[in-house]
Structure 1
Amino acid sequence: MVDVETSPVGRATLEDVARAAGVSVATVDRVVNRREGVREKTIARVEAAVARLGYRADPAAARLARNQSFRFVFILPSGANSFMTLLSEQVARTAEWLAGQRAFIDIRHVDVFDPDALAQALETVSPAYHGVATIALDHPRIRAAIDDLADRGIPVVTLVSDVPSSRRLHYVGIDNPAAGRTAATLMGRFLRGRKGAVGVIAGSLALRDHAERQFGFHQVLSSEFPDLIALPAVEGRDDSERTQAATEALLARRPDLVGIYNVGAGNRGIAAALKESGRSDIVWIAHELTVHSRRLLLHGVIEAIISQDPGHEARSAARVLLARCWGDPILPDQERIRIDIFLRDNLP
């Protein structure tokens, strides 16, 4: 016959220990948490039951028992950026998971291209919040706002775009210079044997991720592919109409244009400009796998997409903030966001 006291099914609980020791759950709780008010003989009995059952305290359960909860705010871009819409959806899904751990997420949308609007959103974060995750501009006022939140004891995680000179807790996103270098290597190989100019379109160079991508791109294209000229980046504010206008200007100004690297969003604008021009020979490399970019990749309009997983990023930001609240360590390998490269042959 199996001894149920020494062989519990699954992980032993406080109730199992209390039953084995012949005491109340409250007494076991006092013993395992080293609180006073328990006789030595009772302590010995409880500790013997703990050892016999292999009981290990569950920190999360202890927090739940103390009715401890946390609230975070995610500050995300407003507008019609498809990737940011996916990110917002993933944050909402992450909120469902967090709720089971008594942690809650509010989402606030602002124009992250406007440093004053973003700074105001950060400066007015309620003291009721235990952490902030934000898409960030590398701007003096944004740095100051993040540092002020740190002074107030509210940790900040930068998401997708970093402000490394600030006192942010952690950056969740890909290695953007490496992403730009990867784009340049792909562009050079797709264009091998051809000469000409390559246009670079960014949302805003005030976004560090966009600035770092175009830097990495120029670095590799100029050093490893001398027949290709990487043009200075032009800004489209991640808006399809502005990006279309920027692409049309590139096509008109540079008849030797052979490639386009879109650092940010606005892919529908580039597609419209290329279709209107009839330039099906342009090699186009883009970022982020969305419904629209997937279709363009499948139809051979985009050659390759460099992407990052918005679900991983949303969960990672939440985990990092939760770990800070709990005093737990951050696991770098778990929170590292990888660079994905998609061709139409390996689409998920």
Structure 2
Amino acid sequence: MTHRFPIKEIARQAGLGTATVDRALNGRAHVSPQTRARVAAAMAELEGQEAQLAARGRRMFFDFVIEAPDRFGREVRRAAERVLPQIGAAVCRPRFVMQEIMSEPEVVAALARIAKRGSHGVCLKARDLPGIRRAVDALVAAGIPVVTLVTDVTTEGRFAHVGLDNDSAGRTAAYLMVQSLRGAAGAVLATRSNESFLGEKAREQAFTLALARRCPRLRIVPVSGGSGVPYETARLIAEVAGQVPDLRAVYSMGGGNRAILQVLAEHGIAPEVYVAHDLDVENRALIAEGAVSFVLHHDLTADMANVFQAFLHWHRLVPEMPGPLLSPVQVITPENLS
């Protein structure tokens, strides 16, 4: 196969050995589809970064390990690509490991591979689990800074946390719900993608306190799991949908909104208010259709700029840390959907 990049460079971008990349590029046997996809993605990333390589500066590799639905992973990648041309202190080369569901051992293994091959920084979106915390501490001990994105990990080793102000988001969701329902009684379905994502936990805690204060006649029905993936999310919602005939509203903190709405419709339930998170492709369509009332959004491009700025500050290439690191919540309606 003809390609413009040296195998060694492709291997470094993909995080694979040169022999593996050579087999993938030449269509040889004993190469998994996942590995071929990683090589293809690495070449696409290199092509997208060629313009930046014309700039002068130190070349740095940053690794993104993201457990999230594909729709969010694509938004992260696009945000990084928008930010890269604006960075003048160094030539930054992102490498991505993204899966919709990553087990604790899979995240730990990914972080161990990064520690072994080296990196100038790791941006992590993962669950707060003991093995992952230990893997983060191992990266830090190896001199690799870790910045958590959207959801944090409870270890003092990580360098910074970047993302949405989750407390404010939870309170905002409660306010919107109470104003829309005008004091009505009933049930509110509050969904999270996983118990171990601290960002969603903070949203739920703030939402619960604010809703109890503003409208104690509304009771919360919590559902956690599914990782925001449609099939798993739908299965969990189906288990509770028949038990809440007085369901008035939904606060979806973890995604899978079209699947949630479909299951509720199958049970004859049409929420009066539906508050979702993140203005991804699915939520843009749902709010335009009127199926979702409000989307709580934050500027992921600004988050990504903060991630790179934090890394560059750690390496003493820029004098100051970015700030603020927590993004304010933006309330999106059909009237301000751009």
Does the TM-score normalized on the shorter chain lie above 0.5?
Answer: yes
SS of residue in 2 equivalent to 1:261: strand
Please point out which of 117, 120, 129 is paired with 2:109.
120
Whether contact under 8 Å (1:179, 1:339) holds in the other structure is yes
The one-letter amino acid paired with 1:116 is P
The corresponding residue for 2:27 is: none
Q: In structure 2, how many angstroms separate the alpha carbons of the residues matched to 1:330 and 1:140? A: 31
1:332, distance to aligned residue in structure 2 (A): 4.2
Q: Following superposition of structure 1 onto structure 2, how do residues 237-316 of structure 1 map, counting pairs within 5 Å?
A: 237-316=227-306
CA RMSD after TM alignment = 2.4
Residue 205 (str. 1) matches residue 195 (str. 2): yes
The one-letter amino acid paired with 1:158 is T
1:192, distance to aligned residue in structure 2 (A): 1.6
Per-residue displacement from partner, 1:27-76 (whole Å, max 9, x unpaired)? xxxxxxxxxxxxxxxxxxxxxxxxxxxxxxxxxxxxx9996332111112
Per-residue displacement from partner, 1:257-284 (whole Å, max 9, x unpaired)? 1111111111120122233334334321
Whether contact under 8 Å (1:73, 1:107) holds in the other structure is yes
Q: In structure 1, how many angstroms separate the alpha carbons of the residues matched to 2:168 and 2:261? A: 25
SS of residue in 1 equivalent to 2:153: coil
Structure 1: stretches of 5+ with no match in the other structure: 1-63
1:333, distance to aligned residue in structure 2 (A): 3.0
1:145, distance to aligned residue in structure 2 (A): 1.1
The corresponding residue for 2:141 is: 151
The corresponding residue for 1:86 is: 75
Whether contact under 8 Å (2:58, 2:89) holds in the other structure is no
The corresponding residue for 1:175 is: 165
Q: Following superposition of structure 1 onto structure 2, how do residues 22-171 of structure 1 map, counting pairs within 5 Å?
A: 68-77=58-67, 79-80=69-70, 82-98=71-87, 101-110=90-99, 113-125=102-114, 126-171=116-161
**Alpha carbons of 1:234 and 1:137: their partners in 2 closer, same or farther (altered >3 Å)?**
closer
Q: In structure 2, how many angstroms separate the alpha carbons of the residues matched to 1:67 and 1:223? A: 53
TM-score normalised by structure 1 residue count: 0.75
Q: Following superposition of structure 1 onto structure 2, how do residues 197-236 of structure 1 map, counting pairs within 5 Å?
A: 197-236=187-226
**Alpha carbons of 1:188 and 1:302: their partners in 2 closer, same or farther (altered >3 Å)?**
same
1:250, distance to aligned residue in structure 2 (A): 2.8
1:315, distance to aligned residue in structure 2 (A): 2.0
SS of residue in 1 equivalent to 2:307: helix
The corresponding residue for 1:186 is: 176
The one-letter amino acid paired with 1:236 is G
Q: In structure 2, how many angstroms separate the alpha carbons of the residues matched to 1:295 and 1:263? A: 17
1:285, distance to aligned residue in structure 2 (A): 0.8
**Alpha carbons of 1:154 and 1:255: their partners in 2 closer, same or farther (altered >3 Å)?**
same
**Alpha carbons of 1:225 and 1:113: their partners in 2 closer, same or farther (altered >3 Å)?**
farther
Q: Comparing 209-218 with 322-331, which one deviates more in the overlay?
A: 322-331
Whether contact under 8 Å (1:214, 1:233) holds in the other structure is no
The corresponding residue for 2:310 is: 320
**Alpha carbons of 1:106 and 1:281: their partners in 2 closer, same or farther (altered >3 Å)?**
closer
Whether contact under 8 Å (1:112, 1:137) holds in the other structure is no
The corresponding residue for 2:40 is: none
Per-residue displacement from partner, 1:1-31 (whole Å, max 9, x unpaired)? xxxxxxxxxxxxxxxxxxxxxxxxxxxxxxx
TM-score normalised by structure 2 residue count: 0.77
Q: In structure 1, how many angstroms separate the alpha carbons of the residues matched to 2:254 and 2:113? A: 28
Q: Report the count of equivalent residues.
A: 284
Q: In structure 1, how many angstroms separate the alpha carbons of the residues matched to 2:140 and 2:248? A: 47
Q: In structure 2, how many angstroms separate the alpha carbons of the residues matched to 1:298 and 1:261? A: 18
